[in-house]
């Protein structure tokens, strides 16, 4: 089984994902990092170069290339715009939506302009949050509220929800 963490940028998908992977001895896959390595550019430059539509396609193809079991996957926050990628993740993993309050997430992202966030052109962070929140809820098997960012509580809650508490 695989575990996929979805949610807004800044919610802790990579941080929590690494903790879960370490605890389960799973491979950790940060999809943004895979894209950056493949393109040899940082995420914002890839997004600028490709545009949002092509970036979402690339993100989807990258996810579809993930084969096997025993992975904790942290896709970019925009993965929910690719139905094909989400269907694939749904078949191959348990999907956890790491949820938090918009104001807390925004505070954790000092570099909104250079972070490589799909959908911010012509939209406020608040609007993007509200748009994506519905998609994250639709696609997730479970929701875990980040809140106080107690990493031990979050990891334990995720493992409990996916039936892997040790």
Residue 112 within any structural domain of the chain: yes
Share of the chain above pLDDT 90, in %: 84
Is residue 1 within 8 A of residue 162, CB to CB? The reply is yes
The per-residue pLDDT for range 79-124, each reduced to its tens digit, is 999 999 999 999 999 999 999 999 999 988 888 777 778 888 888 8
Residue 160 lies in a domain: no
pTM score, two decimals?
A: 0.95
Q: In the prediction, which pLDDT does 166 show?
A: 62
| Contact of 63 with 88, CB cutoff 8 Å | yes
Do the domain assignments include residue 77? yes
Strand locations in the chain (E)? 2-6, 27-30, 71-74, 93-99, 142-145
Q: Which residues of the chain have pLDDT under 50?
A: none
**Contact call for residues 124 and 42 (beta carbons, < 8 A):** no
**Total domains present in the chain:** 1
């Amino acid at each position: 089984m695989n575990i996929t963490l979805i949610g807004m940028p800044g919610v802790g998908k990579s941080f929590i994902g690494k903790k879960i992977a370490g605890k389960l001895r799973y491979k950790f896959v940060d999809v943004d990092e895979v894209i950056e390595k493949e393109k040899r550019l940082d995420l914002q430059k890839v997004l600028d170069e490709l545009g949002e539509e092509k970036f979402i396609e690339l993100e989807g193809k990258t996810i579809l290339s993930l084969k096997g079991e025993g992975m904790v996957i942290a896709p970019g926050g925009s993965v929910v715009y690719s139905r094909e990628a989400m269907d694939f993740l749904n078949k191959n993993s348990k999907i956890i939506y790491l949820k938090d309050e918009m104001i807390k997430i925004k505070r954790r992202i000092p570099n909104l302009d250079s972070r490589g966030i799909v959908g911010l052109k012509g939209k406020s962070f608040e609007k993007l949050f509200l748009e994506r929140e519905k998609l994250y809820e639709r696609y997730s098997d479970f929701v875990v509220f980040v809140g106080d960012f107690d990493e031990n509580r979050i990891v334990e809650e995720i493992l409990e929800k996916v039936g892997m508490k040790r």
